[in-house]
Chain A
């Protein structure tokens, strides 16, 4: 009897210790970390209010980051959280940047971040979207950066923000307090029309101006076997299940634009009241046109079910791609890799009946770098950001040779947040073009000098090195088409989310995407659009429009 007791107790004890064992050891790194920050709290930050001042004592800064560890091109066993950039920051500022966690994809990042926010277990600095920013402000979890920005941000960073007027900083300002460093979406990122020049030449066609000319080309690409493989396996172009939108390679935006239709934008109509662009009659015309094209087999039949629309580009099955000026970086190199004959050319086409190329302005900001409220050195985030941009723009001689010629992406820098002048892309293009025309790169900064060299290399040996080709095509050809004088930009009046949107937008969006796709595929008649608009208004669209109207007046 006694023995049983002892055995029983032992078993229980054993189970308990194993159960607790794992949880007992885990918190160690955490406690180390908090001790680390506590230590540094005592140290006064030297070089007061100097945007580039070095700390006397080393301090740490932990990040949550979405960064792919594949194909980083980092040499010597450097990793995404331990590389020359991070060591450069540490050397310059005495700030040791580490990753609290990292994810391979943006999607995983969003999930991990949601959990982090819900459990209030936040890294020192991280990047969020607008909705998350509002929630973090409401929950009082992030630091007020007003003073940090005024005192510690470098003139360069400030001038970037100022190029947008107050359109960017206002979005991160709550009750007069700046709560984040917003990222800036550089202007001119609209979808233009890229066409396979070699296919055009082969079929003896002229580059398009109007929509009809473009569609005639698409038809020829579909039917006349432009790749010459004897099979009827090419399309004019492919598309996306969501049809259009910013940063969507293969979105139908240029076609919509030529017909004065825009998807998912809040616009002011002629009477000055706010309207939702997807519900306007122009959209109906555009959908009817797309249906016509789909029925004629000019649009890739399977675009609604594709998980990755760029696979057709890589496989060289399409001769027209709608994408921004930068698509020679991605996904066009896949096309050229598989068919070295592929000759992509950008066009500001199709034009509308008045000869204008219509596009809509994008959200000037969508991501926000925020700092955890408890973090002892919020100014360190501003300093790292200053340093990072000195490096990215190759302004600091000490940083310019890091990873030279290795094609290491700038997102390897601690904060993968893009900040620049609104017309940066075109501004840079003009500078580069002027130097190229004068054959004199001496006045360019180092980043531009590199592109100049690459343009030169590509001119001598076209497509020999695809990274060189990407630079040359994007910076010389692609960004030549974002000349503001070639564009008519329709202003979107509202980018955020209203109260009713939070609850009802998923429903309305579902209905919109489903109806539009069905109309294009011919599963519903084009007139279904009218009942969609009625339904959309009834199910909350009217209410949301009212709210947007009010919000955009502020």
Chain B
């Protein structure tokens, strides 16, 4: 009883945050009903016509839905995998560097692209990858035929994935570097006295030390498995690479927003959120079961 009383003012202090959450996150969720309506923009939401699961049924009837979902999952999972491995490896390498100014500089430089918008980067990419762009010029020195990268279905996914990795891995690196500095140095000293090699130290101290961070970021990123990056692809794609680059979001953009099919667009968004929540829940269970690690 007394406990509850002491806790009360903490709850009171929490209430503005809860209120904001309620106003900006919970109330807008009522808009989910649009997924089950034939939405006419401008009409009040409760006056729209109810059509049950029709929007979802239509979504599944889209003839190239398989291709679009496949593209999305492929691109997103490549991004997720590369987005975990590369920052970890890079952070470990950078952690070994002893020259402090060099380490700092590299850290800053790789972090920079994170702040640029895809609209600008896409312009740069189009230039770099054009027929007389720098990539084709260098390839030309080795006698290779110029390739129209952004019109090629073999290259497009790679361009999307690797340019995204280039843009974002600096951010991950910084998180892991922070985790690395959190490892107690006395562990390394002890291992040294026991005669452990660098590799052994990496295997038994460093990796277990940052494992919680890796699991946390991996679990959270799994929620993105249906988010292949709208900004990026929208600015890079063209009809020629629809078959490898058209993702759920760009498809829904053309169908939903350009043609103002809000009901359908909401249905797709809802489905994506449900899948994301399921995946996060599953990976949370897995992390608990196999790594004995609780995130929340």
Query: CB within 8 Å of B: which residues of A?
Result: 4-5, 8-9, 11-12, 15-16, 19, 111, 114, 117-118, 120, 131-132, 135-136, 138-139, 141, 241-242, 301-302, 304-305, 307, 502-503, 505-507, 510, 513-514, 517-518, 521, 523, 539
Query: Which chain B residues (16-47) contact chain A, with CB distance < 8 Å?
Result: 16, 19-20, 40-43
Q: In the assembly, what is the distance between CA of A517 and CA of B148, in Å?
A: 14
Judge whether A131 and B254 touch: CB under 8 Å.
no
A12 touches B238 (CB 8 A): no
Q: Could you list 17 A-B pairs, sorted by A, with CB under 8 Å? A: A8-B13, A9-B12, A12-B13, A15-B16, A16-B16, A16-B19, A19-B19, A19-B20, A118-B42, A135-B42, A135-B260, A301-B131, A305-B148, A503-B261, A503-B264, A507-B255, A521-B240
Contacts of B259 in A (CB 8 A): 131, 502, 505-506
Pairwise interchain contact B242-A510, C-beta atoms closer than 8 A: yes
Q: CA A523 – CA B58 in complex, angstroms?
A: 31
Is B108's CB within 8 Å of the partner chain A? no
Quick check: is B246 within 8 A (CB to CB) of the other chain?
yes
CB-contact partner of A302 in B19, B131, B239, B260, under 8 A: B131
Tell me if B63 counts as interface (CB < 8 A to partner A). yes
Contact status of A539 and B9, CB under 8 A, knowing A135-B41, A518-B240: no
> CA A523 – CA B238 in complex, angstroms?
15
Task: List chain B residues, Cβ under 8 A from A302.
Answer: 130-131, 148, 151
A139 with B238: CB separation less than 8 A: no
Q: Which of B40, B148, B240 contacts A138 (CB 8 A)?
A: B40
Q: Does B184 contact A (CB under 8 A)?
A: no
Q: How far is the CB of A112 from chain B (nearest CB, A)?
A: 13
CB distance from A18 to the nearest CB of B (A): 9
Residues of B within 8 A of A517 (CB): 238-240
Q: Interface readout for B260-281 with A: 1 if CB under 8 Å, 0 if not?
A: 1110100000000000000000
Q: Which of B13, B58, B131 contacts A503 (CB 8 A)?
A: B58
For the complex, would chain B's binding face be called helix, strand, loop or mixed by DSSP majority? helix
Q: Of all chain A residues, which has the CB nearest B65?
A: A507
Cross-chain contact B260 with A139 (CB below 8 angstroms): no
Which residues of the other chain, B, contact A11 by a CB distance below 8 angstroms?
Answer: 13
- The reply to whether B41 and A304 form a contact with Cβ atoms under 8 Å apart is no
Q: Which residues from B are CB-within-8-Å of A241?
A: 238-240
Is B203 engaged at the interface, CB distance under 8 Å to the other chain? no
Interface residues of B in 35-73 (CB under 8 A from A): 40-43, 58, 62-64
Task: Compute how far the CA of A120 lies from the CA of B47 in the bound complex, rounded to whole angstroms.
Answer: 14
Who on chain A is nearest to B129 by CB?
A: A305
B148 and A141 form a contact (CB under 8 A): no
Residues on B with beta carbons closer than 8 Å to the beta carbon of A505: 259
Residue numbers in A under 8 Å from B246 (CB-CB):
510
Q: B254–A114 contact, CB under 8 A?
A: no
Please state if B12 and A118 are interface contacts (CB–CB under 8 Å).
no
Is the CB of B202 closer than 8 A to any CB of chain A? Answer: no
- Supplied contacts A117-B41, A506-B254, 18 more A-B pairs, CB within 8 Å: A8-B12, A8-B13, A12-B12, A16-B19, A111-B257, A120-B42, A132-B260, A135-B42, A141-B42, A302-B131, A305-B240, A307-B126, A506-B251, A507-B62, A507-B63, A507-B64, A507-B255, A521-B240
**Alpha-carbon distance between A513 and B239 when the two chains are bound, in angstroms:** 6
- Whether B9 pairs with A305 at a CB distance below 8 angstroms is no
User: Smallest CB–CB gap between B11 and chain A, Å?
Assistant: 10
Using A139-B43, A141-B42 as known contacts, say yes or no to A19 and B16 having CB atoms under 8 A apart. yes
Q: Does B150 contact A305, Cβ atoms closer than 8 Å?
A: yes
Chain A residues with CB under 8 Å of B181's CB are: none
Q: Could you tell me the distance between the alpha carbons of A61 and B238 in the complex, rounded to whole angstroms?
A: 41
Partner of B262, one of A8, A118, A307: A118
Residues of B with C-beta under 8 A to A510: 64, 239, 242, 246, 254
